[in-house]
Amino acid sequence: MSPRVAIRYEPDERPPPALTLGLGLQLALLLVAIPILIPTAVMRAAGVTDAYLNWAVYASVAVCGATTVLQAIRYRRIGSGHVLVMSSAAAFIWLCVEALQRGGPELLATLVAVSALFQFVLSARIALFRRILTPAVSGAVLMLVPVTAMPVVFGMLTTGTDGGAAAGATASAAVTVVIIVAIALKATGAMRLWAPVIGVAAGSLVGAFFGLYDIDRVAGAPWVGLPAFEWPGFDLGFGPDFWSMIPAFLLVSLIVTLRTISSCVAIQSVSWRRERAVDFRSVQGTINAEGVSNLLCGLTGTVPNTTYSISASLTELTGVAARGIGIATGVIFLLVALLPKALAVVLAIPGPVVGGYLGVLMAMLFLVGIKVMLQDGLDYRKGLIVCIAFWVGIGFQNGMIFPELVSEFAGGMFANAMTTGGLAAIFMTAFVEMFDSRRSRMEAGPDRSSLPKIREFLRAFATRSGWDAAMADRLEAVGEEALLSLVGPGADDAGPGRRLRLVAYRRNGNAVLEFAVAPVGENIQDRLALMRNAADEPSLEQEASLRLLRNLASSVRHQQYHDVDIVTVQVKAPAQ
């Protein structure tokens, strides 16, 4: 494997302090506007008091800073150990507005906190959901987020205006949208990342010309200090509003977690000089840190957060992946939270400008949904799942499908496009997975004494699949070498409580074998990749099982979690 010379500093290395601070400042400048603008847009749309708006923005920036540091340092099972920035999640905008309008800050705090607990559960059992939570499912739900949010976004274009200020509202919103879109369409590289900030600044200048920018708010804000304490508390009554909205919050938490997984995979792919298999233990740590972040958001009554992957682009550009950059970014966020004057500059932005910014943001989120949907390719079945889920969501959202029944059942739970469309996508995916291919399963101890049982199981699987004796022999050999690669050729004792689960099924006419066992240490996929580029080194001659496995299988994938290792081996079937 050829070294990746572009990487100057790996996550565990320490670059010069000036470089660390400079890159941390650059990353903070690119993202610090998000935990200010999104909570501002949510609170403005919901019509909360100015005191609570100030508190929510302060809490959002502070929580993002603290948990960005936590992501970088990776304490026990919390954190990725990479440069991943926490910031407000656009996917929750509409749900947060609706929660505030229905039950106020107390209901929002309760829903966000419960969703955070769900993320901890998901992290602990993420290996169980890997076949259902597909890119098609997450893409469909992300595409439905703008559908539910657009009525509120369009309503903000005239927020706080009367007949005399209508021209100013129209002009400021139009300038915001045109500049953001123009830069996004024509600019490249880092300039495109600044498009939202430039567009909002230009729109605010136009709004100030028409008297829409709240200059008094900025002038009255102190340079340093803390906002008035406005903790909302929790709504522990768990009434109809809670039960009607919690499914949508959990579903969006699920989708946001899928994006978080993608962000962690992205940063891992650019952080090392030599290519490595994805470390899903780091992925689990990333989800746990996001859960901590959202739990803090719930405790403070602000908008939920998610993990942003923009740091992967910066790492690829600079070649610096040191986790010290993440620590510096988080500290800068915390410093900004202590500067009320800086926060007031953003909070004074006119409502139409915020509405225009959110309109473009929702359109970009729709594009993200399309990209996620196409991540693993789009065949007939995946396309049908996405299309049906999308139109089911729109139909329920607009009261075109059994409106009387939907409005009365479970407090109107199914009147939300993300809930109905997302559930439809999940159920259809589970249906396809259930009947796609019959899966054969067995359990045994992960040691050499289980080899006869594994051989018998794989030969029976080959017979049921209609394959010849040569394919059966090949599957037996793959099963033996995969087991020996997992536990070592000399392993004769599985140890107390350790079990091996083997699942065999067909996919696209080929055989797929999944070996699940307790964590074993070194990643087989990394060792195979190393051997491809160091095949003549005498020190690797002892890796006989891995060499045979590499030659017998068409692909080997090793996913390492905290509680289980899963090795998936695909074996090409003979031509019929």
Whether 335 and 374 share a structural domain: yes
Residue 560 inside a domain? The answer is yes
Higher pLDDT, 141 or 460: 460
Q: Which residue type sits at 106?
A: E
Its pTM stands at 0.69
Q: Are 43 and 56 in contact (CB under 8 A)?
A: yes
Cα–Cα nearest to 223, from 338, 335, 331? 338
Distances (CA, A) of 357 to 143, 166, 174, 243, 480: 18, 18, 10, 31, 58
Examine the pLDDT at 3 and tell me if it is beyond 80: no
Q: Between 414 and 114, whose confidence is greater?
A: 114
For residue 392, give the H/E element and its range: helix 380-397
Q: How confident is the model at residue 327 (pLDDT cuts 50, 70, 90)?
A: very high
Handedness of CA 377, 381, 385, 388 (dihedral sign): positive
Q: How many CB atoms lie within 10 A of CB 495?
A: 11
List b or e across 445-462, with b for residues whose CB sees 16 or more CB atoms inside 10 angstroms: bbbbebeeebbebbbebb
Q: Is residue 237 part of a domain?
A: yes
Contact 43, 217 (CB under 8 A): no
Give residue 414's domain range.
17-434
Helix (H, G, I), strand (E, B) or coil at 566: strand
Q: Are residues 321 and 443 in the same domain?
A: no
Q: What percentage of the chain has pLDDT greater than the value 90? A: 21
Tens digit of each residue's pLDDT (9 = 90 or more) over 260-284: 887 787 788 778 887 776 788 888 9
Q: How far is C-alpha 269 from the chain's CA centre? A: 16
Residue 55's pLDDT is 93
What's the pLDDT score for residue 525?
Answer: 55
Statement to judge: residues 112 and 237 lie in one domain: yes
| d(C-alpha 218, C-alpha 574), whole Å | 72
Integer Cα distance of 309 and 299 in angstroms: 25
Any domain includes 423 = yes
Q: Are 136 and 318 in contact (CB under 8 A)?
A: no
Residue 342 corresponds to which amino acid? Answer: A
pLDDT-derived band at 349 (thresholds 50, 70, 90) equals confident
Q: Among 180, 182, 169, which residue's Cα sits nearest to residue 209?
A: 169
User: Does residue 510 sit within a domain?
Assistant: yes
Q: What angle do CA 406, 412, 417 make, to 5 degrees?
A: 80
**193, 57: one domain:** yes
The CATH number of whichever domain residue 459 belongs to comes to 3.30.565.10
198 SS3 class: helix
Question: Is residue 183 one of the residues assigned to a domain?
Answer: yes
Contact between 268 and 278 under an 8 Å Cβ cutoff? The reply is: yes
**Residue 86: inside a domain, yes or no?**
yes
Span of 113-127, 436-450, 541-555 with lowest mean pLDDT: 541-555
Residue predicted with more confidence, 92 or 538: 92
Q: CA–CA separation, 547 vs 559, rounded Å?
A: 19
Query: Lowest-confidence range among 14-28, 194-208, 252-266?
Result: 252-266
Q: How confident is the model at residue 160 (pLDDT cuts 50, 70, 90)?
A: low
Alpha-carbon span 174 to 195, nearest angstrom: 15
Residue 523, pLDDT score: 61
- Answer whether residue 534 shows pLDDT above 50: no
Indicate if the pLDDT at residue 106 is higher than 90.
yes
Q: Is 468 left (phi over 0), alpha (psi -120 to 50) or beta?
A: beta
Q: Looking at the structure, tell me whether residues 147 and 265 fall in a common domain.
A: yes
Instruction: Give the per-residue pLDDT at 488.
Output: 60
Task: Tell me the per-residue pLDDT of 470-514, one tens digit each, with 9 for 90 and over.
Answer: 899 889 888 888 887 777 645 455 555 567 888 898 877 888 888
Among 434, 454, 470, residue at a domain's last position = 434
Q: How far apart are CA 400 and CA 234, in angstroms?
A: 34
pLDDT above 60: residue 60: yes
CB atoms within 10 A of CB 182: 13
**Whether the Cβ atoms of residue 318 and residue 99 lie closer than 8 Å to each other:** no
The mean-pLDDT minimum among 92-106, 173-187, 432-446 falls in 432-446
Whether residue 171 lies inside any domain: the answer is yes
Measured distance CA(469)–CA(53) in Å, rounded:
71
Among 413, 434, 455, the domain-final residue is 434
Task: Look at residues 151, 161, 140 and name the one whose alpha carbon lies nearest to residue 97.
Answer: 151
CB 82 within 8 A of CB 321: yes
CB 513 within 8 A of CB 503: yes
Least reliable range by pLDDT among 29-38, 146-155, 292-301, 545-554: 545-554
Confidence of residue 228 (pLDDT cuts 50, 70, 90): confident
- Between CA 339 and CA 566 the distance in angstroms is 48
Query: 442 and 371, same structural domain?
Result: no
Out of 157-171, 262-276, 336-350, 457-471, least confident range: 157-171
559 and 520 belong to one structural domain? yes
Asked whether residue 541 carries a pLDDT value surpassing 50, the answer given is no
DSSP string computed for 23-47: HHHHHHHHHTTHHHHHHHHHHHHHT
- Average pLDDT of the chain to the nearest whole number: 81
Report which of residues 41 and 331 the model is more confident about: 331
Residue partners of 259: CB distance under 8 A and separation at least 6:
138, 142, 306, 307, 368, 372
Rounded Cα gap, residues 427 and 33, in angstroms: 38
Cα angle value 391/397/401 (rounded, 5°): 70
Best-predicted range by mean pLDDT among 45-59, 401-415, 425-439? 45-59
Average pLDDT over residues 67-89: 91
- Is residue 533 predicted with pLDDT exceeding 60? no
Cβ proximity of 336 and 32 under 8 Å: yes
390 and 466 both lie in a single domain: no
317 or 341: which carries more pLDDT confidence?
Answer: 341
Residue 394 and residue 278 in one domain:
yes
Q: What is the pLDDT of residues 378-427, one digit of tens each?
A: 788 888 999 999 999 888 887 778 777 666 555 455 667 777 888 888 88
pLDDT of 115 over the 70 cut = yes
For residues 307 and 442, membership in a common domain is answered with no
Domain count, the chain: 2
Within a domain: residue 12?
no
Final residue belonging to a domain, choices 384, 410, 434: 434
Contacts of 431 by beta carbon, 8 Å cutoff, 6+ apart: none
Compute CA distances 392 → 192, 252, 372, 386, 409, whole Å.
34, 17, 19, 10, 17
Residues 462 and 354 in one domain: no
Contacts of 43 (CB under 8 A, 6+ apart): 52, 53, 56, 57, 100
What does the pLDDT look like over 234-250, one tens digit per residue? 888 888 889 888 988 99
Q: Is the pLDDT score of 208 beyond 60?
A: yes
Same domain, 423 and 374: yes
Residues near 165 by beta carbon (within 8 Å), at least 6 away in sequence: 210, 211, 212
* Nearest Cα to Cα of residue 65 among 282, 354, 289: 289
Q: From CA 382, how far away is CA 135, in angstroms rounded?
A: 9
